[in-house]
Amino acid sequence: MTTDIIIAGVGGQGTVLAGRIISQVAQLAGLDVKVSEIHGMSQRGGSVVTQVRFGEKILSPLVYPGAVNYILAFELLEGLRVAPLLAADGAIIVNDQKLEPVTVLSGRMEYPADAKADIAAVRPQAVFADALALAKEAGTAKAVNLVLLGWLSKQLDFAEELWLDAIAACVKPKFIEINKKAFALGRAL
């Protein structure tokens, strides 16, 4: 059994750390893990996508479109972009935040008038959450990633301790408590 996860967002939103924590959990559980992440130009505020696959033995590091089990979308437009990759029975959470790309700001393209409805039209099971508000409640706007991971942890079978250990292993010591709090708020979603 292979589990496929996609993390999609905008450069600088903390998607990389989210991928690192998930792969750490899978490793702690003794599973094979492969991660695919393109960095380079995209760091300059472009779309970023991380693919994580884990299971007994992983062959391709890349997911198959339409067969992805879970998606964490950090932004509405990015959620809309990747939603079709989700399997019909997969689960997706979308942070209810709108970050207009420069193509929209400069008036060349339009931001979808109702991105939520568009996402729901593609994958009706989509869950929306104000992860930014929860992250701020935990103590920092930067912890959107941990809120979304909290939600993901409820969908997967790993013990909560594994997640907490992985957070401790991947986050700077002074941010661990805030991150754990954001994670707990995400679990309660």
Partner 1 sequence: MEKKLLTGNAAVARGFWEAGGQVVSSYPGTPSTEITECASEYPELYAEWAPNEKVAVEVAIGASISGVRALAAMKHVGVNVAADPLFTVSYTGVNGGLVFISADDPGMFSSQNEQDNRHYARAIKIPAVEPSDSAECLAFTKAALAISEQFDTPVMLRLTTRVAHGQTMVELGERVEAETKPYVKNPQKYVMAPANAKPKHKVVEARMRALEEFAETTELNRVEMADTKMGVICSGAVYNYVKEILPTASVLKLGMPYPLPKQKITDFAAAVDELYVIEELDPFYETIIKSWGIECHGKDIFALEDEILPETIAECLRPGECPFATQTAGIAGRPPVLCPGCPHRATFRVLSRLKVTVLGDIGCYTLAFAPPLAAMDTTVCMGASIGMAHGMEKALGREQSQKTVAVLGESTFIHSGISSLVNAVYNGSAITVMILDNSITAMTGHQPNAGSGKDIHQQPAPELDFAELAKACGVKHVWKVDPFDQDKLTAVVKEALEIPEVCVIVAERPCVLLPGAAQNREMTVVAENCIGCKACLRIGCPALAVRDGLVEINDTQCNGCGLCADVCPRGALRKGDAK
Residues that bind partner 1 (CB under 8 A): 10-11, 23, 27, 32-47, 58-67, 77-78, 80-81, 83-85, 100-112, 118, 122, 141
What the block records as the tokens of 79 is: 């959620």
Comparison of 84 and 188: residue with beta carbon closer to partner 1: 84
Comparison of 77 and 91: residue with beta carbon closer to partner 1: 77
- Strands 32-37 and 47-55, bridge-based pairing: antiparallel
How far is C-alpha 58 from the chain's CA centre?
Answer: 20
Rounded to a whole number of angstroms, the minimum distance from the CB of residue 188 to partner 1 is 25
Alpha helix stretches (DSSP H) within 61-170: 76-82, 102-105, 115-122, 131-138, 144-155, 160-170
Phi, psi of 39 (to 5 degrees): -120, 165
**What string of DSSP letters covers 107-134?**
TSS---TTHHHHHHHH-TT-EEE-HHHH
Comparison of 9 and 154: residue with beta carbon closer to partner 1: 9
Rounded to a whole number of angstroms, the minimum distance from the CB of residue 4 to partner 1 is 11
Rounded to a whole number of angstroms, the minimum distance from the CB of residue 155 to partner 1 is 21
Rounded to a whole number of angstroms, the minimum distance from the CB of residue 7 to partner 1 is 13
Comparison of 105 and 188: residue with beta carbon closer to partner 1: 105
Residues 130, 143 contacting (CB under 8 angstroms): no
Comparison of 59 and 159: residue with beta carbon closer to partner 1: 59
Residues 17, 162 contacting (CB under 8 angstroms): no
Rounded to a whole number of angstroms, the minimum distance from the CB of residue 139 to partner 1 is 16
